[in-house]
C-alpha cells in the first residue's frame, strides 16, 4: 500500500493540498495544507497510551477527497493485535490511573479543556472534516460547534453522577452507586466522523470509563487529530485510544474482545445486528445507533416558506448522508401544489460543488461506493414508476456529487420509499387523512426520527405522540442540541447519544445494603 508514487501529486480544485510521498515508510505525522491555506500536522499512527505508534503490521489505509477523487493521505491500519494492545492500555488506565475512581473534577477539567481546544482548532477541524468527508464547510463548522458543546455538557455531568440513599427502616443503610463499566469499544460510520466520536467520548469519559475507538475506513483524519488534542487536554494515558482500520479486522476484534465490557456502535442496521450477535458471546452491554427512513409530514396549515427550508434542511443537509434524514415527505392535499411549487423552485437554487466555497449548500457524497449506491437507487425509483421531479443524476464530471433529487407520485411499497438510501433523495406522497399519514409514517422497520409541520399545536402534539420515532421535530428538522437525547426506536437501534440519557448506558448500578447493629 506504499505505492503512492503511482498517484499524481495531489491537487484539488484549489490546488492547495500538499501531499507527502511515502517511498518506504509513512511517517507518524504528515503535513497537509488545507484549502484555507493553513498547513497542519496530520497524525497517521494508532493512538495508544497517549502516543502515536506504528501498528504491528505496517499496512496503511488511503483516504480520498470525495470532492476531487484524489488521495489526501494514508494513515496506518491497525489489526486485531493492535486492538489487543490498545485494550491492555485502556484496561490499565481504568484500573490504575485514578480516572475511574478519583476526583471527578479531573474528568470535568479534561473534557472542558478538550471543548476549549475544539473551539481553538475549530477552523482546522472543520476543514479536515470537510476534506475527508466531502461535506460543505458550513455543515462541518456546525458539526464542530455542536461537538464542542457536547463536550462541555459532558464535562458538567462528570461530578453529578451519583446514586441514591434508600430508606428501608432503621435496621439497614442502603445506597446505590453509579459505577463506570470499564473499557468501552466504540465504532462509528463516516457521515459525521468528529461528531459521532464526540457523542461517544463525552459520556464515556464523564462517567469514568476508558475507550478504544475505531473510526470509519473512509474518514480517519479528525479522530486522530482529536486524539492529539485529548493528550493536550490532560486525559491520562490509556483513557482514549484510537485504532484506525477495517471493520472486519479492528471492528471485529473490538466486538469480541473479552476485556471490552461495552460496545457503542453507530452504523448500518446490518452491521449492528452482526455486532449484537458477536457481543452476545461475552454478554457485553451494547448500544446501537443505526439507520433510518424518517417521515416528514406537512399539514395544510403549515407556513410554506419556513417549511420549505425545513424540508431542504431535512433531506439535503450533509448531502443527505444523515441517519435521521427526512427522506419520506408526506404533504396534505390542500397545500400540496403550492408547497411543491415553492420547494422545486428553492431546490433549483441549491448550490452544489466545491465544499470549501462558503456559499455551497451541498458538497460531495463520501465515497464512490456511496455515490454508486445513490445513483442505483435513483434508477430503481425510475423503474418502479416514481415520477422524477428534480435531480436524478450526478452533478459535474469529477467528484462524487449528486443533484438534490425528488421523486413524487410514489406508493408506500416502493423500494425507494422503504429502503434507506443515505443520500440526497426524497420521496413525496400526498395524503388527506391524519390517521392515514400516521399509519404510513409508522410503516417502516426504522424509527429514528420524524418531522411535523403545522401551526395547530393540538395537531402537533397528537401526531408527535403517535409517531414511533426516537426524535420528533416540529416546525424544524435536523435540529440538534447537546442537552436533547438522540437515538432510535425499532430497528434504528437503542441507547441514546447526547443529553442526560447518554450517561445511562455508560454506568452500572451497585446497591450497597448494610445491616446496622
The catalytic residues are: 289
Q: Is residue 66 involved in binding ligand NAD (CB under 6 A)?
A: no
Q: Is residue 445 involved in binding ligand NAD (CB under 6 A)?
A: no
Q: Is residue 308 involved in binding ligand NAD (CB under 6 A)?
A: no
Q: Is residue 202 involved in binding ligand NAD (CB under 6 A)?
A: no
Q: Is residue 134 involved in binding ligand NAD (CB under 6 A)?
A: no
Indicate left, alpha or beta for 319 from its phi (over 0: left) and psi (-120 to 50: alpha).
left
For ligand NAD, the closer of residues 73 and 215 by Cβ is 215
Q: Given candidates 188, 374, 390, 469, which one binds ligand NAD under the rule CB under 6 A?
A: 188
The rounded distance, in Å, linking the Cα atoms of 89 and 86 is 5
What is the nearest approach in angstroms of ligand NAD to the Cβ of residue 288? 8
Long-range contacts of 382-387 (CB under 8 A, 24+ apart): 384/410, 384/414, 384/415, 384/416, 385/409, 385/414, 386/410, 386/414, 386/416, 386/427
Number of shown-chain residues binding ligand NAD (CB under 6 A): 30
Indicate left, alpha or beta for 438 from its phi (over 0: left) and psi (-120 to 50: alpha).
alpha
Q: State the helix-helix crossing angle for 137-157 and 193-206, rounded to 10 degrees.
A: 0
Q: Given candidates 144, 204, 271, 410, which one binds ligand NAD under the rule CB under 6 A?
A: 271
Residue listed under C-alpha cell 399539514: 299
Binding track over 474-513 against ligand NAD, x by CB under 6 A: --------------x---xx--------------------
Q: Is residue 274 involved in binding ligand NAD (CB under 6 A)?
A: yes
Q: Is residue 289 involved in binding ligand NAD (CB under 6 A)?
A: yes
The rounded distance, in Å, linking the Cα atoms of 339 and 406 is 13
For ligand NAD, the closer of residues 404 and 493 by Cβ is 493
What is the nearest approach in angstroms of ligand NAD to the Cβ of residue 50? 23
Q: Given candidates 117, 290, 297, 467, which one binds ligand NAD under the rule CB under 6 A?
A: 290
The rounded distance, in Å, linking the Cα atoms of 475 and 493 is 25
Select from 54-62, 81-89, 184-192, 394-402 the region that touches ligand NAD (CB under 6 A): 184-192
Q: Which residues, in sequence order, are CB contacts of 465 under 8 Å at separation 6+?
A: none
CB atoms within 10 A of CB 24: 6
Q: What is the DSSP string of 424-492?
A: SEEEEEEE--HHHHHHHHH-SSEESEEEEE-S-HHHHHHHHHH---SEEEES--S---TTS-B--EETT
Among residue numbers 229 through 268, which ones bind ligand NAD (CB under 6 A)?
A: 247-248, 251-252, 255, 266-268
What is the nearest approach in angstroms of ligand NAD to the Cβ of residue 449? 9
| Binding site residues, ligand NAD, CB under 6 A | 187-191, 214, 216-217, 247-248, 251-252, 255, 266-268, 271, 274-275, 289-292, 323, 420, 422, 448, 488, 492-493
Amino acid at each position: 500500500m506504499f505505492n503512492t508514487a503511482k498517484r499524481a501529486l495531489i491537487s484539488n480544485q484549489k490546488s492547495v493540498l500538499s501531499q507527502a510521498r511515502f517511498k518506504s515508510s509513512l511517517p507518524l505525522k504528515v503535513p497537509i495544507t488545507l484549502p484555507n491555506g493553513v498547513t497542519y500536522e496530520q497524525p497517521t499512527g494508532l493512538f495508544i497510551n497517549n502516543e502515536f505508534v506504528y501498528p504491528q503490521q505496517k499496512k496503511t489505509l488511503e483516504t480520498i477527497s470525495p470532492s476531487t477523487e484524489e488521495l489526501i493521505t494514508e494513515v496506518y491500519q491497525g489489526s486485531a493485535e493492535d486492538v489487543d494492545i490498545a485494550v491492555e492500555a485502556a484496561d490499565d488506565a481504568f484500573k490504575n490511573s485514578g480516572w475511574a475512581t478519583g476526583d471527578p473534577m479531573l474528568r470535568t477539567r479534561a473534557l472542558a479543556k478538550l471543548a476549549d481546544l475544539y473551539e481553538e482548532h475549530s477552523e482546522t477541524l472543520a476543514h479536515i472534516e470537510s476534506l475527508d468527508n466531502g461535506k460543505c464547510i458550513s455543515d462541518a463548522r456546525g458539526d464542530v460547534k455542536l461537538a464542542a458543546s457536547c463536550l462541555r455538557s459532558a464535562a458538567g455531568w462528570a461530578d453529578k453522577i451519583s446514586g441514591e440513599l434508600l430508606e428501608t427502616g432503621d435496621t439497614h443503610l442502603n445506597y446505590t452507586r453509579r459505577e463506570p463499566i470499564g473499557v468501552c469499544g466504540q465504532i462509528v460510520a463516516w457521515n459525521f466522523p468528529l461528531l459521532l466520536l464526540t457523542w461517544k467520548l463525552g459520556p464515556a469519559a464523564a462517567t469514568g470509563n476508558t475507550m478504544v475507538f475505531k473510526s470509519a475506513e473512509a474518514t480517519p483524519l479528525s479522530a486522530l487529530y482529536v486524539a492529539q488534542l485529548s493528550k493536550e487536554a490532560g486525559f491520562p494515558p490509556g483513557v482514549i485510544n484510537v485504532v484506525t482500520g477495517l471493520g472486519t479486522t479492528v471492528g471485529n476484534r473490538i466486538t469480541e474482545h473479552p476485556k471490552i465490557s461495552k460496545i457503542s456502535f453507530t452504523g448500518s442496521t446490518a452491521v449492528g445486528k452482526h455486532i449484537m450477535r458477536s457481543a452476545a458471546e461475552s454478554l457485553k452491554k451494547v448500544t446501537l445507533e443505526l439507520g433510518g427512513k424518517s417521515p416528514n409530514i406537512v399539514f395544510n396549515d403549515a407556513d410554506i416558506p419556513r417549511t420549505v427550508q425545513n424540508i431542504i434542511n431535512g433531506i439535503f443537509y450533509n448531502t443527505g448522508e444523515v441517519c435521521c434524514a427526512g427522506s419520506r415527505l408526506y404533504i396534505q392535499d390542500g397545500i400540496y401544489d403550492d408547497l411543491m411549487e415553492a420547494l422545486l423552485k428553492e431546490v433549483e437554487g441549491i448550490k452544489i460543488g466545491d465544499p470549501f466555497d462558503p456559499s455551497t449548500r451541498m458538497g460531495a457524497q463520501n465515497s464512490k461506493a456511496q455515490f454508486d449506491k445513490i445513483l442505483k437507487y435513483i434508477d430503481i425509483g425510475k423503474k418502479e414508476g416514481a415520477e422524477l421531479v428534480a435531480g436524478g443524476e450526478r452533478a459535474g464530471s469529477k467528484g462524487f456529487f449528486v443533484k438534490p433529487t425528488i421523486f413524487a407520485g410514489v406508493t408506500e411499497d416502493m423500494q425507494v420509499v422503504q429502503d434507506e438510501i443515505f443520500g440526497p433523495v426524497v420521496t413525496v406522497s400526498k395524503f388527506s387523512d391524519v390517521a392515514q399519514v400516521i399509519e404510513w409514517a409508522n410503516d417502516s422497520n426504522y424509527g429514528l426520527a420524524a418531522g411535523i409541520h403545522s401551526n395547530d399545536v393540538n395537531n402537533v402534539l397528537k401526531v408527535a405522540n403517535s409517531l414511533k420515532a426516537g426524535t420528533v421535530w416540529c416546525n424544524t428538522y435536523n435540529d440538534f442540541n447537546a442537552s436533547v437525547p438522540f437515538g432510535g426506536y425499532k430497528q434504528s437501534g437503542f441507547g441514546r447519544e447526547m443529553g442526560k440519557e447518554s450517561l445511562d448506558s455508560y454506568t452500572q448500578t451497585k446497591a450497597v445494603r448494610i445491616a446496622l447493629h
